[in-house]
Structure 1
C-alpha cells in the first residue's frame, strides 16, 4: 500500500458555529468554515507531509449526527487526558473516560460532541 486507508472524514453537525467552537476548544486549533453550494464545511487543519487523515465538520440536510450509527472516528493526541479534560467544559459529554486498551496499544476515551456524535480519543500515554 502506498498510503494509509483513510484519506478524509466528515462529521455531521446541525449547528456549525456551536460545533466549530467545541472542536476549537477541545483540540486547541482553528477550523475554517466554507459554504460549498449549500453544504457548510468546517475544515480541520491539514499538515502537509504528516501522517493521519484530515476531515471536516459538515452541516447539510443529508448529514445526521448520531451517537450509535456509523463509523467511530478516533482523534490522535499526545495524551487522551488533555482533550478529555476540555470536553465537558466545551459542552460535550464523556461516555467512556480514559482507559488503557491493552497489548501496548495505548489509551482511549469515548465522548459525545455538542451535536450528539459519538467520537473517540487515542494516545500512547
Structure 2
C-alpha cells in the first residue's frame, strides 16, 4: 500500500502533495485519510533521512578531499624548500670555490692602468688562446 501511495505521490508531480490530493489522485475508495497520512509521513521521513545521510556523506567526502589537497600542497612546499636549500648550498660552495681560484688573479686599476693585465693579449680576451 505504501508503494502505491508513493507512486501516486511521484506521478502526481505535485510540489507539496497533501493526503487529500493523493487520495483523490489514487481514486481508491477503501483507503482512509489517516492511512494515506501515515504512509505519506513515513515516505517523507524516509526521504528526509536519506537526504540527511547524503549531505553527511558529501561533507565527509569534501573533508577528505580538502585533507588530500592539503597533504599534496605540504609535500610540494617541502620539495620546493628542499630544492631552494640545495640551491643555496650549491651557490655557497660555488662562491667559495670561485673566491679561492681567483684570489691571485685580482686586477687592480690605478690611474687607468690595470696592474696584472699587462700580459693579456687580444686573442686571449676573445677566448682563442688558453
Which bin holds the TM-score, normalised by the shorter protein?
Answer: under 0.3
Q: Which has the higher strand share?
A: 1
| Bigger radius of gyration | 2
TM-score with structure 2 setting the length = 0.17
Give the structure, 1 or 2, with the largest relative contact order (CA under 8 Å, sep 6 or more). Answer: 1
Q: Which has the higher helix share?
A: 2
